[in-house]
Amino acid sequence: MSVLHIVEVTKTFPGGTNAVDSFSLDVADGELVCLLGPSGSGKSTLLRMVGGFEQPTGGRITIDGEDVTHLPPERRPTGMVFQSHALWTHMNVFKNLAFGLKLRHMPANLIKEKVEAVLELVGLAGYGDRMTTQLSGGQQQRVALARSLVLEPKILLLDEPFASLDQHLRERLREEVRDIQQRLKITTLFVTHGQDEALSMADRIVVMANGKTEQIDRPDVVYRNPQTPFVAGFIGTMN
Ligand code: ADP
Ligand code: MG
Protein backbone atom coordinates (compact mmCIF):
# COMPACT_ATOMS: atom_id res chain seq x y z
CA MET A 1 0.00 0.00 0.00
CA SER A 2 1.27 3.47 -0.86
CA VAL A 3 1.64 5.99 1.96
CA LEU A 4 3.17 8.82 -0.02
CA HIS A 5 1.63 10.12 -3.22
CA ILE A 6 3.38 12.82 -5.18
CA VAL A 7 1.02 13.90 -7.96
CA GLU A 8 2.24 16.03 -10.87
CA VAL A 9 4.26 18.27 -8.59
CA THR A 10 5.99 21.24 -10.19
CA LYS A 11 8.33 23.87 -8.79
CA THR A 12 9.11 26.92 -10.87
CA PHE A 13 11.43 29.36 -9.14
CA PRO A 14 10.84 33.03 -9.92
CA GLY A 15 12.41 33.83 -13.26
CA GLY A 16 13.69 30.28 -13.59
CA THR A 17 12.93 27.06 -15.33
CA ASN A 18 11.08 24.17 -13.73
CA ALA A 19 13.37 22.73 -11.04
CA VAL A 20 10.76 19.98 -10.66
CA ASP A 21 8.53 19.38 -13.65
CA SER A 22 5.17 17.63 -13.20
CA PHE A 23 6.79 14.88 -11.15
CA SER A 24 4.72 11.93 -9.88
CA LEU A 25 5.70 9.08 -7.56
CA ASP A 26 3.95 6.63 -5.23
CA VAL A 27 6.00 5.23 -2.35
CA ALA A 28 4.89 2.06 -0.57
CA ASP A 29 4.77 1.64 3.19
CA GLY A 30 8.23 0.74 4.46
CA GLU A 31 9.91 1.27 1.11
CA LEU A 32 13.25 3.04 0.62
CA VAL A 33 13.29 4.97 -2.65
CA CYS A 34 16.47 6.67 -3.83
CA LEU A 35 16.19 9.83 -5.89
CA LEU A 36 19.33 9.66 -7.99
CA GLY A 37 20.57 12.21 -10.47
CA PRO A 38 23.27 14.71 -11.33
CA SER A 39 23.62 18.04 -9.59
CA GLY A 40 20.77 20.38 -10.50
CA SER A 41 18.31 17.64 -11.50
CA GLY A 42 15.77 18.76 -8.89
CA LYS A 43 16.27 16.11 -6.17
CA SER A 44 16.63 18.48 -3.22
CA THR A 45 13.79 20.72 -4.36
CA LEU A 46 11.50 17.70 -4.61
CA LEU A 47 12.51 16.43 -1.17
CA ARG A 48 12.09 19.89 0.36
CA MET A 49 8.56 20.05 -1.04
CA VAL A 50 7.71 16.69 0.57
CA GLY A 51 9.11 18.01 3.86
CA GLY A 52 7.30 21.33 3.55
CA PHE A 53 10.42 23.52 3.26
CA GLU A 54 9.47 24.61 -0.25
CA GLN A 55 6.03 25.29 -1.72
CA PRO A 56 5.08 23.58 -4.99
CA THR A 57 3.82 25.84 -7.77
CA GLY A 58 1.64 22.98 -8.98
CA GLY A 59 0.46 19.50 -8.05
CA ARG A 60 -0.38 17.71 -4.84
CA ILE A 61 1.33 15.69 -2.10
CA THR A 62 -0.60 13.33 0.16
CA ILE A 63 0.64 11.25 3.10
CA ASP A 64 -1.61 8.49 4.42
CA GLY A 65 -4.51 10.01 2.51
CA GLU A 66 -4.04 13.48 3.99
CA ASP A 67 -3.28 16.36 1.63
CA VAL A 68 -0.13 17.97 3.08
CA THR A 69 0.76 20.10 0.04
CA HIS A 70 0.44 23.39 1.90
CA LEU A 71 1.18 22.34 5.49
CA PRO A 72 4.26 23.76 7.23
CA PRO A 73 7.05 21.25 8.07
CA GLU A 74 6.11 20.95 11.75
CA ARG A 75 2.60 19.83 10.88
CA ARG A 76 3.74 17.06 8.55
CA PRO A 77 4.51 13.47 9.60
CA THR A 78 7.95 13.81 8.01
CA GLY A 79 11.49 14.05 9.38
CA MET A 80 14.31 15.50 7.31
CA VAL A 81 18.08 15.10 7.54
CA PHE A 82 20.08 17.64 5.55
CA GLN A 83 23.49 17.35 3.95
CA SER A 84 24.90 19.67 6.58
CA HIS A 85 23.39 18.31 9.76
CA ALA A 86 22.63 21.70 11.38
CA LEU A 87 22.85 20.38 14.93
CA TRP A 88 22.62 22.89 17.76
CA THR A 89 26.19 23.41 18.88
CA HIS A 90 25.29 25.08 22.18
CA MET A 91 23.33 22.02 23.34
CA ASN A 92 24.57 18.55 24.21
CA VAL A 93 23.42 15.50 22.27
CA PHE A 94 20.60 14.73 24.68
CA LYS A 95 19.17 18.24 24.42
CA ASN A 96 19.43 18.21 20.62
CA LEU A 97 17.20 15.14 20.64
CA ALA A 98 14.89 16.19 23.47
CA PHE A 99 14.10 19.61 21.98
CA GLY A 100 11.37 18.50 19.57
CA LEU A 101 9.78 16.24 22.19
CA LYS A 102 9.65 19.10 24.70
CA LEU A 103 7.79 21.19 22.14
CA ARG A 104 5.23 18.39 22.16
CA HIS A 105 4.94 18.70 25.96
CA MET A 106 6.09 15.15 26.55
CA PRO A 107 6.85 14.33 30.23
CA ALA A 108 10.56 14.38 31.11
CA ASN A 109 10.82 10.70 32.07
CA LEU A 110 9.29 9.63 28.77
CA ILE A 111 11.61 11.99 26.85
CA LYS A 112 14.61 10.42 28.58
CA GLU A 113 13.39 6.95 27.70
CA LYS A 114 12.81 7.79 24.03
CA VAL A 115 16.08 9.68 23.57
CA GLU A 116 18.10 6.86 25.12
CA ALA A 117 16.37 4.25 22.94
CA VAL A 118 17.10 6.22 19.76
CA LEU A 119 20.73 6.88 20.74
CA GLU A 120 21.12 3.15 21.20
CA LEU A 121 19.54 2.55 17.78
CA VAL A 122 22.09 4.80 16.02
CA GLY A 123 25.02 3.35 17.96
CA LEU A 124 25.54 6.33 20.28
CA ALA A 125 24.40 4.92 23.62
CA GLY A 126 26.03 6.90 26.41
CA TYR A 127 26.78 9.96 24.23
CA GLY A 128 23.94 12.12 25.62
CA ASP A 129 26.23 14.40 27.64
CA ARG A 130 28.64 15.15 24.79
CA MET A 131 28.57 18.48 23.05
CA THR A 132 27.96 17.95 19.33
CA THR A 133 31.17 19.81 18.49
CA GLN A 134 33.13 17.04 20.23
CA LEU A 135 31.81 14.41 17.83
CA SER A 136 33.25 13.18 14.54
CA GLY A 137 31.45 13.95 11.26
CA GLY A 138 29.92 10.49 11.16
CA GLN A 139 28.74 10.72 14.76
CA GLN A 140 27.20 14.12 14.06
CA GLN A 141 25.22 12.67 11.17
CA ARG A 142 24.07 9.84 13.43
CA VAL A 143 22.81 12.46 15.89
CA ALA A 144 21.01 14.28 13.07
CA LEU A 145 19.36 11.01 12.05
CA ALA A 146 18.44 10.29 15.69
CA ARG A 147 16.97 13.78 16.06
CA SER A 148 14.60 13.03 13.16
CA LEU A 149 13.77 9.50 14.29
CA VAL A 150 12.98 10.42 17.90
CA LEU A 151 9.92 12.33 16.64
CA GLU A 152 8.68 9.09 15.05
CA PRO A 153 7.98 10.46 11.58
CA LYS A 154 5.94 8.41 9.16
CA ILE A 155 8.33 9.35 6.37
CA LEU A 156 12.06 9.91 6.62
CA LEU A 157 13.66 12.33 4.15
CA LEU A 158 17.44 12.20 3.72
CA ASP A 159 19.25 14.70 1.48
CA GLU A 160 22.78 13.48 0.72
CA PRO A 161 23.42 12.88 4.43
CA PHE A 162 26.86 11.37 3.88
CA ALA A 163 28.13 13.75 1.20
CA SER A 164 30.71 15.42 3.45
CA LEU A 165 32.14 12.14 4.78
CA ASP A 166 35.00 10.06 3.42
CA GLN A 167 34.31 7.00 1.26
CA HIS A 168 34.95 4.40 3.97
CA LEU A 169 32.62 6.08 6.46
CA ARG A 170 30.00 6.61 3.75
CA GLU A 171 29.91 2.89 3.05
CA ARG A 172 29.57 2.05 6.73
CA LEU A 173 26.82 4.58 7.39
CA ARG A 174 24.98 3.46 4.29
CA GLU A 175 24.71 -0.03 5.77
CA GLU A 176 23.77 1.31 9.21
CA VAL A 177 21.01 3.52 7.83
CA ARG A 178 19.63 0.75 5.66
CA ASP A 179 19.63 -1.57 8.68
CA ILE A 180 17.83 0.97 10.89
CA GLN A 181 15.36 1.76 8.10
CA GLN A 182 14.48 -1.91 7.73
CA ARG A 183 14.22 -2.51 11.47
CA LEU A 184 11.84 0.43 11.88
CA LYS A 185 10.15 -0.33 8.53
CA ILE A 186 10.12 3.41 7.98
CA THR A 187 9.16 4.75 4.55
CA THR A 188 12.19 6.67 3.26
CA LEU A 189 13.14 9.00 0.42
CA PHE A 190 16.91 9.17 0.06
CA VAL A 191 18.47 11.79 -2.22
CA THR A 192 21.92 11.13 -3.63
CA HIS A 193 24.07 11.79 -6.68
CA GLY A 194 26.11 8.68 -5.80
CA GLN A 195 25.19 5.79 -8.07
CA ASP A 196 26.89 3.25 -5.79
CA GLU A 197 24.86 4.54 -2.84
CA ALA A 198 21.55 4.19 -4.70
CA LEU A 199 22.37 0.79 -6.17
CA SER A 200 23.34 -0.65 -2.77
CA MET A 201 20.59 0.87 -0.58
CA ALA A 202 17.37 1.28 -2.47
CA ASP A 203 14.26 -0.84 -2.91
CA ARG A 204 13.62 1.31 -5.98
CA ILE A 205 15.60 3.99 -7.74
CA VAL A 206 14.20 7.06 -9.47
CA VAL A 207 16.77 8.45 -11.87
CA MET A 208 16.05 12.15 -12.35
CA ALA A 209 17.10 14.75 -14.92
CA ASN A 210 15.68 18.24 -15.38
CA GLY A 211 13.05 17.73 -12.70
CA LYS A 212 11.61 14.63 -14.33
CA THR A 213 11.86 10.85 -13.96
CA GLU A 214 14.11 9.26 -16.57
CA GLN A 215 13.99 5.74 -15.19
CA ILE A 216 12.29 4.12 -12.22
CA ASP A 217 12.95 0.53 -11.23
CA ARG A 218 14.59 -1.88 -8.80
CA PRO A 219 18.36 -1.40 -8.46
CA ASP A 220 19.20 -4.70 -10.14
CA VAL A 221 17.12 -3.72 -13.19
CA VAL A 222 18.61 -0.21 -13.31
CA TYR A 223 22.06 -1.78 -13.02
CA ARG A 224 21.50 -4.35 -15.79
CA ASN A 225 19.56 -2.07 -18.09
CA PRO A 226 20.47 1.57 -17.43
CA GLN A 227 18.34 3.97 -19.45
CA THR A 228 20.35 7.10 -18.70
CA PRO A 229 23.89 8.23 -19.55
CA PHE A 230 24.29 9.20 -15.86
CA VAL A 231 23.96 5.60 -14.64
CA ALA A 232 25.35 3.88 -17.75
CA GLY A 233 28.51 5.99 -17.49
CA PHE A 234 29.01 4.97 -13.88
CA ILE A 235 28.53 1.27 -14.59
CA GLY A 236 31.01 1.66 -17.43
CA THR A 237 33.65 2.77 -14.92
CA MET A 238 33.11 -0.38 -12.84
CA ASN A 239 33.69 -2.87 -15.66
P1 ADP B 1 19.78 18.77 -6.99
O2 ADP B 1 19.43 18.60 -5.55
O3 ADP B 1 19.38 17.61 -7.84
O4 ADP B 1 21.23 19.13 -7.20
P5 ADP B 1 18.17 21.18 -6.83
O6 ADP B 1 16.82 20.74 -6.48
O7 ADP B 1 19.00 21.74 -5.74
O8 ADP B 1 18.93 20.00 -7.58
O9 ADP B 1 18.08 22.29 -7.97
C10 ADP B 1 17.31 22.09 -9.15
C11 ADP B 1 17.34 23.38 -9.97
O12 ADP B 1 16.64 24.41 -9.27
C13 ADP B 1 18.73 23.90 -10.24
O14 ADP B 1 18.76 24.45 -11.53
C15 ADP B 1 18.89 24.99 -9.20
O16 ADP B 1 19.77 25.98 -9.64
C17 ADP B 1 17.47 25.52 -9.06
N18 ADP B 1 17.19 26.05 -7.72
C19 ADP B 1 17.24 25.35 -6.55
N20 ADP B 1 16.90 26.14 -5.50
C21 ADP B 1 16.63 27.37 -6.02
C22 ADP B 1 16.20 28.62 -5.45
N23 ADP B 1 15.99 28.76 -4.14
N24 ADP B 1 16.02 29.66 -6.31
C25 ADP B 1 16.21 29.53 -7.63
N26 ADP B 1 16.60 28.40 -8.23
C27 ADP B 1 16.81 27.31 -7.44
MG1 MG C 1 20.69 18.62 -3.85
- Tens-binned pLDDT, residue by residue, of the chain (239 aa): 899 999 999 999 998 889 999 999 999 999 999 999 999 999 999 999 999 999 999 999 999 999 999 999 999 999 999 887 688 989 999 999 999 999 989 999 999 999 999 999 999 999 999 999 999 989 999 999 999 999 999 999 999 998 888 899 999 999 999 999 999 999 999 999 999 999 999 999 999 999 999 999 999 999 999 999 999 988 888 76
Residue 190, pLDDT score: 98
Q: Which residues surround ligand 2, an ion (CB under 5 A)?
A: 44
What is the DSSP annotation of 22-91? EEEEEEETT-EEEEE--TTSSHHHHHHHHHTSS--SEEEEEETTEE-TT--GGGSSEEEE-SS----TTS
Does residue 215 fall inside a structural domain?
Answer: yes
Residue 6, pLDDT score: 98
Does residue 46 fall inside a structural domain?
Answer: yes
Counting the structural domains of the chain, the total is 1
CA of 64 to the centre of ligand 1 (A): 28
CATH number at residue 233: 3.40.50.300
Q: Where are the alpha helices (DSSP H) in 185-228?
A: 195-201, 219-224
Q: Which domain holds residue 19?
A: 1-71+188-239
Report pTM: 0.95
Does residue 222 fall inside a structural domain?
Answer: yes
* Phi/psi of residue 6, nearest 5 degrees: -110, 115
Does residue 182 fall inside a structural domain?
Answer: no
Does residue 231 fall inside a structural domain?
Answer: yes
CA of 17 to the centre of ligand 1 (A): 10
- Residue 44 in contact with residue 216, Cβ under 8 Å? no
Nearest residue (CA) to ligand 1, atom 1: 40
Does residue 35 fall inside a structural domain?
Answer: yes
Taking the CA of residue 44 as reference, the ligand 1 atom at the shortest distance is: 2
Does residue 178 fall inside a structural domain?
Answer: no
Does residue 61 fall inside a structural domain?
Answer: yes
